[in-house]
Amino acid sequence: MKVILFGPPGAGKGTQAALIRDHYAIPHISTGDIFREAIRNETELGKQVKSILDSGELVSDQIVVDLVAEELKKEEYRNGYILDGFPRTVGQAEAFDRILQSRNDSIDAFMSLEVPREELTRRILSRGEGRTDDTPEGVEKRLQVYENETRPVKEFYEKQGRVREIDGVGTIEEIFGRIRDTLDQLK
């Protein structure tokens, strides 16, 4: 099963992706986690992207697409994966589509977690993960970038008829229950 988990910052993508990973035994790829780890390990990539993550802006499409294309070559993703935080621009979605097509492959679902904006800010500021971009200004910036650059990605997949909207308000278990109902229909 190949799934894109989509939604604004604070929608709970990381939490739900981990639950999907454990329940369906498919690996989780979070581009944000990959960048944060590179920053922690002070790799070349980490040095390249640190100030971008701190500012709440997006890393360039080229860097992200190359990174995901490379990652997906690994054997562990052969039978499926959950993508969290990618694609985040229409350019990334188009590039990802070309990569999949060249492998005669496609995704099974694009799941969009729907959460009202007031709830997003509240959740991010109260989650206390200690992320350097989780300041009131950082959150505002990421929500703005989401509206301008990322929301159109959903329209891109709507045109392909792949979008499944998930109500992202409720307890973690309730939301995961909705995701499971959706994914079980795909099997």
For residue 162, the number of C-alpha atoms closer than 13 Å in the C-beta half-sphere is 19
The mark string for 42-81 relative to ligand AMP (x by CB under 6 A, - otherwise) is ----------xx--xxxx----x-----------------
- 117 belongs to the catalytic site: no
Q: Does 142 bind ligand AMP (CB under 6 A)?
A: yes
Residue 6 φ/ψ, nearest 5 degrees:
-115, 155
Q: Residue 187 burial by CB count (10 A; 0-12/13-18/19+): exposed, middle or buried?
A: exposed
- The reply to whether 151 belongs to the active site is no
In the numeric block, which tokens belong to residue 41? 């390990």
Please state the closest distance from residue 123 (CB atom) to ligand AMP, in A.
13
3-state secondary structure of 64: helix
Length of the chain: 187
- Asked if 85 interacts with ligand AMP (CB under 6 A), we say yes
If one asks whether residue 12 binds ligand AMP (CB under 6 A), the answer comes out as: no
CA 77: distance to chain centroid? Answer: 16
Assess whether 131 carries a catalytic annotation.
Answer: yes
Catalytic residue among 2, 123, 127, 162: 127
In the chain, % helix, strand, coil (3-state, to 5) comes to 60, 10, 30
Nearer to ligand AMP, 56 or 168 (CB): 56
The answer to the question of residue 88 lying near ligand AMP (CB under 6 A) is: yes
Interacting residue ranges for ligand AMP, rule: CB under 6 A: 9, 31-32, 35, 52-53, 56-59, 64, 85-86, 88, 92, 142
